[in-house]
Chain A
Amino acid sequence: MNEIGLKELLYKMADDLLILGHRNSEWTGMGPLLEEDIAFSSMAQDKVGQSLALYTILHQLGEQDPDTVAFTRNAGQFHNCILVELPNQEYDFSLIRHFLFDMADALRWEMLTQSSYEPLSLLAKKVRGELRYHTLHATTWMKQLGSATETSIARLQQSLTTVTPFALAIFEESPYEKEIIESGVFEGEKVLMEKWKLKIADVISQTQLMLPDWKTITPMLGGRTGKHSEHLQPMLEEMSEVFRIDPTAEW
């Protein structure tokens, strides 16, 4: 098995989940209704927990411990897609991001239950149950708000148009894609993206929203190789503000 390729896969998944979990947690106390504060917090806890599980596997593969990895790297060392680091903005933006990302993430974990790398397939079998609730939450809201009022439909449509170029970059391929696929660790980003497009289209067809024509969209690539938007570094600085007071201290 190609260990660099495996680590790259683990890092990008872990970083996606940590960063999006962090963003989801920013809805605490700010949601459009209390029930949404609570829902986004639950998903945040799941995602940060999943990222911890992945960093733990990486640690077993010789990387530094999860706290050091998560709280001391700078933006250039993160492998997450740009989508997850963007600020929460309005609820429609957060919902569309949640929908597009979690539909992909649920499929990814589902595929990974078949991974030849056992620590990952075992984790995937546990995590896919959590993802079921995340996608149930996302699709319920998409169907509700995507067919409700003129305002809600227009807002979701606008965000869908803004977010899709970033969402397509979830599937930015790794330089080790071929090895990862051949060794049976993961079926690869292309397969995942095709499955995702079908799932997305199925939900969108039950709303009054329109999916953009995929061929016209240029994916906002770069995140997987450490090229991020201006939003990631300040977020990481906030995240590590206390940790950095004394990284050797126990908190």
Chain B
Amino acid sequence: MYGGGNTFEGVKTDSVAKEDLVKLAEFEARIARGEKIEPADWMPELYRKQLIRMIEQHGHSEIIGALPEGTWITRAPGFKRKMALMAKVQDEVGHAQLLYSAAETLGKSREQMIDDLITGKSKYSNIFNYPTFTWADCCFISWLVDAGAIVNQLANAKGSYGPYCRALERICAEESFHLKYGHHCVIYLAAGTTKQRQMFQEALNRWWPPMMHFFGPSDKISTHTEVLMRWKVKMGTNDEMRNQFLDMYVPKIRELGFTIPDPNLKKNTTTNKWEYTEPDWEEFKRVINGGGPCNKERLEVRRIAEERGKWVREALKSSTTAYVTPLA
């Protein structure tokens, strides 16, 4: 998974006007031809800044996302689940490693990114600010949050920045296993005892609103930044991504006999779009700005891990080697 590389903050485009017009035209022509932009290539300041922000936040989502699922590694029922969940969450941490490397090619160090995560300066996927009460919550994440992330990531893999696209291709390949694992877990709950079915239904009830939030504010209220679409930084609108997710997964959830907790959820056969109860965007804003049930806890865990590991990182530093940007 996890985050899928989305930023929902407003973007200031003033700097674009100050760019060298010839270089800018050449840059845009390359993107229009479907070429990838590589780290050493000329790029507008806004492109660099926006990509750092997006890739970095995607990386953060991977390591923060490892926490709510990670707490279930020690409780996974049986060898099969225990070993699969360990491997799955390990993949997510590996994705963070890949993504931080991709962001580093744009000039921001991993240390700086992690500092910005801990101080709250940079965000991560909102959905991880909710708690996982039961094993079924963990299964919901493995199946459906990962599914949502794949929708975003497959779109972003067609973007214009080479290192990010290559990282996403690898990530998506691993994600497809996560999706199978998550689906498998949910099938066992669906086909299991009354208690098991009830566990998943309750998880679905809890997680559906954050899942609808996952793709970001509705197109009606979010600011469109046309230039980011043209530069293939943002590859689709929030509603398009949400619609794609609903298309793919509502039938699968219903097939297992579960009830999605939204009486208004239905596909409009004329527009071919899903209709649903408008998610509570005030709640979304509150949570993204630190007011969710687990924001403090998640950042605190990360902060403690960083603090406790500081002496190890210090001991690895060598006075004779200099910082090198990773190849990506």
Q: Tell me the bound Cα distance from A41 to B73 in angstroms.
A: 11
Q: Which residues of A contact B195 (CB under 8 A)?
A: 245-246, 249
Q: Which residue of A lies closest to B135 (CB)?
A: A242
Contact A250 B90 (CB under 8 A): no
Contact A28 B75 (CB under 8 A): no
Contact A41 B89 (CB under 8 A): yes
Q: Which residues of B contact A45 (CB under 8 A)?
A: 83, 86-87, 90
Q: Which residues of A contact B226 (CB under 8 A)?
A: none
Does B179 sit at the interface, judged by CB under 8 A?
Answer: no
Q: Which residue of B lies closest to A156 (CB)?
A: B315
Contact B81 A251 (CB under 8 A): yes
Q: Say whether chain B's binding surface is mostly helix, strand, loop, or mixed.
A: helix
Contact A251 B312 (CB under 8 A): no
Contact A48 B66 (CB under 8 A): no
Q: Which residue of A lies closest to B304 (CB)?
A: A30
Q: Which residues of B contact A91 (CB under 8 A)?
A: 308-309, 312
Stretch at the interface among A64-72, A102-110, A117-125, A129-137: A64-72
Does B96 sit at the interface, judged by CB under 8 A?
Answer: yes
Contact A25 B73 (CB under 8 A): yes
Known interface pairs A34-B97, A37-B93. Does A151 touch B305 (Cβ–Cβ under 8 Å)? no
Stretch at the interface among A141-149, A184-192, A216-224: A141-149
Q: Which residues of B contact A49 (CB under 8 A)?
A: 83
Known interface pairs A41-B86, A41-B90, A242-B135. Does A29 touch B70 (Cβ–Cβ under 8 Å)? yes
Does B261 sit at the interface, judged by CB under 8 A?
Answer: no
Does A26 sit at the interface, judged by CB under 8 A?
Answer: yes
Contact B90 A38 (CB under 8 A): yes
Q: Tell me the bound Cα distance from A34 to B62 in angstroms.
A: 11
Task: Tell me, rounded to whole Å, the shortest Cβ–Cβ distance linking B135 to chain A.
Answer: 4
Contact B316 A148 (CB under 8 A): yes
Does B63 sit at the interface, judged by CB under 8 A?
Answer: yes
Q: Tell me the bound Cα distance from A242 to B196 in angstroms.
A: 10
Does B79 sit at the interface, judged by CB under 8 A?
Answer: yes
Q: Tell me the bound Cα distance from A144 to B312 in angstroms.
A: 10
Contact A31 B79 (CB under 8 A): no
Q: Which residues of B contact A28 (CB under 8 A)?
A: 66, 70, 73, 86, 89-90, 93
Known interface pairs A29-B93, A90-B308. Does A52 touch B315 (Cβ–Cβ under 8 Å)? no
Task: Tell me, rounded to whole Å, the shortest Cβ–Cβ distance linking A72 to chain B.
Answer: 11
Q: Tell me the bound Cα distance from A91 to B313 in angstroms.
A: 11
Does A152 sit at the interface, judged by CB under 8 A?
Answer: yes
Q: Say whether chain A's binding surface is mostly helix, strand, loop, or mixed.
A: helix
Q: Which residues of A contact B310 (CB under 8 A)?
A: 32
Q: Tell me the bound Cα distance from A87 to B197 in angstroms.
A: 34
- Taken residue by residue from 126 to 139, chain B's Cβ proximity to chain A (1 for < 8 Å, 0 otherwise) reads as 00000000010000
Q: Which residue of A lies closest to B302 (CB)?
A: A29
Q: Tell me the bound Cα distance from A90 to B82 in angstroms.
A: 24
Q: Which residues of B contact A70 (CB under 8 A)?
A: 79
Known interface pairs A31-B305, A144-B316, A151-B311. Does A38 touch B188 (Cβ–Cβ under 8 Å)? no
Q: Which residue of B lies closest to A251 (CB)?
A: B77
Does B10 sit at the interface, judged by CB under 8 A?
Answer: no
Contact B193 A38 (CB under 8 A): no
Known interface pairs A149-B315, A245-B195. Does A71 touch B77 (Cβ–Cβ under 8 Å)? yes
Contact B75 A241 (CB under 8 A): yes
Q: Which residues of A contact B193 (CB under 8 A)?
A: 246, 249
Q: Which residues of A contact B313 (CB under 8 A)?
A: 32-33
Does A42 sit at the interface, judged by CB under 8 A?
Answer: yes
Known interface pairs A25-B74, A45-B86, A66-B79. Does A250 touch B188 (Cβ–Cβ under 8 Å)? yes
Does A202 sit at the interface, judged by CB under 8 A?
Answer: no
Q: Which residues of A contact B34 (CB under 8 A)?
A: none
Q: Tell me the bound Cα distance from A31 to B70 in angstroms.
A: 13
- Taken residue by residue from 158 to 187, chain A's Cβ proximity to chain B (1 for < 8 Å, 0 otherwise) reads as 000000000000000000000000000000
Q: Which residues of A contact B87 (CB under 8 A)?
A: 41, 45
Q: Which residue of B lies closest to A48 (CB)?
A: B83
Task: Tell me, rounded to whole Å, the shortest Cβ–Cβ distance linking B295 to chain A.
Answer: 16
List residues of chain B with CB under 8 Å of any chain A CB.
Answer: 63, 66-67, 70, 72-79, 81-83, 86-87, 89-90, 93-94, 96-97, 100, 135, 185, 188-189, 192-193, 195-196, 301, 305, 308-316
- 6 other A-B residue contacts (CB within 8 Å) besides A28-B86, A144-B315: A52-B79, A245-B77, A246-B193, A250-B188, A251-B81, A251-B196
Report, nearest first, the 5 A-B pairs whose CB atoms are least far apart. A32-B309, A148-B315, A32-B312, A41-B90, A152-B315
